[in-house]
Each structure stands twice: as structure tokens, then as C-alpha cells.
Amino acid sequence: MKLKGKKVLVVGLGLQGGGLATVRWLLHQRARVSVTDLKNRRQLESSLKNLGHLPIKFVLGKHPLSLLRGVDLVVQNPAVPNSLPLIRRAERLGIPIEGEASIFLKMCPAPVIAVTGSKGKSTVASWLGFMFKNAGYHTMVAGNIRDRLMLSILPNINPNTKVVLELSSWQLENLGRFKLSPPLAVITNILPDHLDRYKNMSQYAQAKANIWRWQSKSDKAVLNWDNIITRKLGRLAQSKIFWFSTQAKVSAGCYIYKKSVWFKSGQSQIKLFSVKDVALAGAHNLANALAAATTAVVAGVPPPQIRRAVLKFIGLHSRQQLVREVGGVKYINDTTATMPDATQKALDTFKKYPITLIAGGYDKKLSYAGLARDIRRRVQNLILLPGSATKNILAKLPKKYPYIIVKTMAQAIVSARRLTARGGVVLMSPAAASFGLFINEWDRGEQFVKAVRKLK
């Protein structure tokens, strides 16, 4: 991909960091870069300050179609939908449209292992990378993971590098333009999510399926047998399928037998590790361990190195992260729980404790009926942040169910400390997106951590 002197328009700078990495990479390729975003300069302040005085033309607060005049390439931020008039016009004009994921797959000198899923994709990608590193491979993990942005790692990859890429459905959408799929693909699960962007679950699942849709017969995919949607999708794949399951003995892949995890391929079966070896708590993390282990075996990691990584992996920041214990109360940061299912899993993880739950935010058009049921069963105190999801949670709870609505995270922590007795857990697991009150989900988590650390 030769971009020297080419006029490139980046549509969507955003606040998550991916837009910054894309712009820097394009400038490094000596392209002439323009950036447009519907957010204004004040809203994008945290991103703009990181670009300093670089030679970039900004058009903010609008997407005028005139920006396409003379453009050689459009790079579409994953958060920008294909329905955007500017993107549609670029398509009609025949201007090439890339995304960070398509650029990465085209430019990466090593085979890519890509991981997607509604939940668990960051954990599985990071755990898999940890397994490769333990086995002595030069390893790079990046993608939809904070501080590990894919285009920023390209210069550090050689043909022998083990490359693990975590991809969202939004990033996978763009791969459809080029019929691109990685040679080894992983789907952790497909659950209701992002229905504010997709018309229905089928459309969302089809975006996820792009991860293996254009694989060849010699390529491989690792899928979740226990998830009915991934099981159905697997029947359509032309590549070699390996399954992982905590509930059934699969024909090829990882399963549990007599409290141990086994890998099966053909007539061969090998024990990888015991269930009790998994360092991370929760049934969902057992499934994550099986997903990572299955992929590691397929990619050639020796079983002893897999077991060692299962024992040592401590998980990711902001995912059921113990921030601090104050006055006998544990404060847990689970800001990446942006859907009800994730919060339900967190409630299950801490079910032995009296729970004060901090939840709420922006609704992604998901059902909160199951979460409301678990709140009634397991939550002692409910503190809600403002937003459309909060209204939907309350609509599923009895009218007289006790709750507090706060305006800031600091207020939430003050209320949580007052309400939670020694031996309890304050769990910030929002079950919603962060738009509006926070810059992004990381900002939400950082505000939680900051408020907790101020407690005396």
C-alpha cells in the first residue's frame, strides 16, 4: 500500500485512540492527511492535544461532501456507520475505503490470529498472547484493546511474530469490502449487543462472521460450542473448525472431563490442565481459558506452556478489577461490562458477598429483563448513573424497588460507602455504554478508581 503523497481523508477521529494511531501511521507513510469528525474541537480535546502541530487539516463538527474532492483514499473509523452520507458518496464515486483492520491485515508481514466475540475477546486475545510469550515466541497483541492499537504495532512485527488481533464487529464490517479473513479466527460468543447500530441480532452476527467468512479450506476457526449462534455459524464455515465447550465433549477442540481440560483432534486426546489451575474467577473465565487454550494448541504451543500461562495469567485492567479494600469492603472496577450479560456474570462471580451495584448509562437497545431479575436476587443496594439504560433497568424492576440515582461517579462512591457494610462488595458494572456522562468506558473506570482511592 503506497501512500506517499496521496490525499487521505480520515472519517472519525474519536476518543478511543484508534483514530490517533491511524492518523500517525498515515503521516508516517507520508500521506497528506485530512480528518473530519462530527464532534467539535472541545469534545475532541483529549485526542487533538496528542496530535500537537502535525500537518493535518481538520474539519470538525460536520462532514461536508466537498471533503471528497481530490481524495485518493478514505479511512473509516470503526465507530462510523456505513450509512453515513459521506461514506455512501465515497462508495458511489469509487473512492477506496479502508479501515484500520483491513490496512493491518494487508500490511502485516506475519500470519494474523484474530479474536472477536460479544464478551471475552480482550481477555482471550491477551491470554493467548500470554501463552505465546510463555512459550518463547516474539508476540504482539493489539486491536480493540486500550493502549495496544493495531497500526501502532506494525513496525515491530517480523514474519516470525505471533500476532494476536482483537476485533470488534465494527472493525470486521470493513473487511467485507475486501473479502478478507485471517488464517486463524476465534469467536468467543455472540450475545445481544450493539442493537443501537444493527437492525437485529442476525445482522450483528453476520458482521462477526466476517472473521472467518473468507477463509480457505486450509485455514482454521475456533468457535464456542456452548453458544447456539456460533454453533450454527460454524456449520457454514469452509475452514477447519475447532470447538471449545465447558458443557459437552466436542469432536475437535477443548472440553472438560473429570475436572480437567482436554484437547481432541482426530483420534488423539491430550490433557492440558485442571479446571482448578485457572487463575481467573468465574464460569465465563473458564470458557475464556478454553478458547485461548484451543487456539494455542492449534497454533503450535506445547501443552506444558499452556498450563503455565493458565496458572499465571492475572487478567486485564478494568475487568472485575479489585481496586482497593476499605473498611472491609471490596471495590471492584468492571467498567468494560457494557451489556447486561456481562454485569450478570459479574454478579454471579461475587454472589457470595452482599453486593452494592453501580450501574446504568447509555442504552444500546438491549433487554434488561434478565439483569433486573438478577438484581432482585443478588443486589442489596442499587446505585444508578443517569442515562437511557437506567430508565430501562428501572422499567423492569418493581415500582417500589429501592434505588439511588446519582449525577457523578464521585457521588456514587460516597453513597456506596454509606450503604455497604463490612464484608460487602461495591461492584461498578454498568451494563451500558458510557456515552454522555464520560468520555469513554476507560474514563468511567478511571473516575471510579480515582474516587475509591480518595476514601479514607
d(CA 347, CA 375): 8
Q: Identity (one letter) of the amino acid at 227?
A: N
Q: Which grid coordinates are listed for 249?
A: 465433549
79-84 long-range contacts, CB within 8 A, separation 24+: 79/12, 79/14, 79/16, 79/170, 80/11, 80/12, 81/197, 82/173, 84/11
Please tell me the predicted confidence (pLDDT) of residue 444: 95
d(CA 272, CA 260): 8
Please tell me the predicted confidence (pLDDT) of residue 439: 84
- pLDDT tens string, the chain, 456 residues long: the values are 899 999 999 999 988 778 888 999 999 999 999 999 999 998 888 888 888 789 999 999 999 999 999 999 999 999 899 999 999 999 999 999 999 999 999 999 999 999 999 999 999 999 999 999 999 999 999 987 766 788 999 999 999 999 999 999 999 998 989 999 999 999 999 998 888 888 999 999 999 999 999 999 999 999 999 999 999 999 899 999 999 999 999 999 999 999 999 999 999 999 999 999 998 888 999 999 999 999 999 999 999 999 999 999 988 877 888 999 999 999 999 999 999 999 999 999 999 999 999 999 998 889 999 999 999 999 999 999 999 999 999 999 999 999 999 999 999 999 999 999 999 999 999 999 988 789 888 899 999 999 999 998
The secondary structure of residue 362, as a DSSP letter, is B
CB atoms within 10 A of CB 324: 14
d(CA 28, CA 150): 15
The secondary structure of residue 384, as a DSSP letter, is E
d(CA 308, CA 217): 32
Q: Could you tell me the CA-to-CA distances from 241 to 216, 310, 419 in Å, in that order?
A: 12, 23, 49
Please tell me the predicted confidence (pLDDT) of residue 429: 97
Please tell me the predicted confidence (pLDDT) of residue 146: 66
Domains and CATH numbers, the chain: 7-98 (3.40.50.720), 101-312 (3.40.1190.10), 321-453 (3.90.190.20)
CA 356 from centre of chain: 25
